[in-house]
Amino acid sequence: MDAKTIQMWQVGIASEVEIMHAELNYTGLSQHFHDVWSVGHIIEGECHFNSGGVDHIAPAGSIFIIPAYEVHACAAGKPVNYDVYYISEMYLKVHAPQILTATFASSQRVWVAPDCIEFFDVSKKLHDEAQIKLWLDKFSQYIDRPKRSLPDKEVFPLRRLIDERWQEPLCLKDIESATKYSRWQAIRLFKKQVGLTPNEYLRQLRVLQSRHLIRQGTPFRDIAAILYFSDQPHFTRSFKRLFGVTPGEFRRVLFRVAPQSPEEEDSDY
């Protein structure tokens, strides 16, 4: 059984906002992160997740927020239906900076805000930027404002190197040794700060970028080569580990095409 079933994925406002409607199955999702902020609503069921090293429970009717790049894992005793708006950090900085500030200043990731549930009506148009701004302003009222601003969290040098060079054919052994620490000490410190090994982090960064290439119609074999996966099956396995579905299933939902056989689903076209 797939970890989750994606029923809808749409993109709007110049790719600054994406929305997904999905069902999380009992197998859950292992540790992963997103390169954008996740603002979600639990429609049915109860989701247990660990984000940033803290355990949370999101019951039906609640709203959750997970910052970009914060590693989290999800579990569900029963299937969980939910919507998620994936919003770029730059968009939030411009239109709802208080959400960023308050979330970074607290470990809270789940809120009960009944008046804000309407935002997750999937019939709303993603391109209606005025409605999205209105909701962000409304939801900001539910978040406690921090009494003082926190200093920016220092980024581990190895992570900075990977963030800057993930598009290159990296040899992790070399860059792990490029810090002031020994290679193995650098790996341990990286995992302690980030929650993943450098190799896992790099692979997930590349998988996250692949969704944009899929949207552009790039064949899977070319995506695997562009993002330095060893081959197409390696890319497919990595994609499913992060998104819970295969690239073919994701493409089918994205472009709203009819289901295919498993063999056709993840072929190039």
d(CA 20, CA 101): 25
Please check whether residue 87 is in contact with residue 39, taking contact to mean a CB–CB distance below 8 angstroms: yes
What is the CATH code of the structural domain delimited by 157-265? 1.10.10.60
pTM for the model:
0.88
pLDDT (tens digit, 9 = 90+) per residue, 228-245?
Answer: 999 999 999 999 999 999
Domain ranges of the chain: 4-140, 157-265
Annotate 227-249 with DSSP letters as a single string. TT-SSHHHHHHHHHHHHSS-HHH
pLDDT (tens digit, 9 = 90+) per residue, 122-146?
Answer: 545 566 777 788 888 888 877 766 5
| CATH T-level assignment (fold) for domain 4-140 | Jelly Rolls (2.60.120)
Q: Does pLDDT of 153 surpass 80?
A: no
What is the percent of the chain with per-residue pLDDT over 90, rounded to a whole number?
Answer: 50
What are 123's two structure tokens?
A: 């019939």
pLDDT at 198: 92
pLDDT at 269: 44
pLDDT at 185: 87
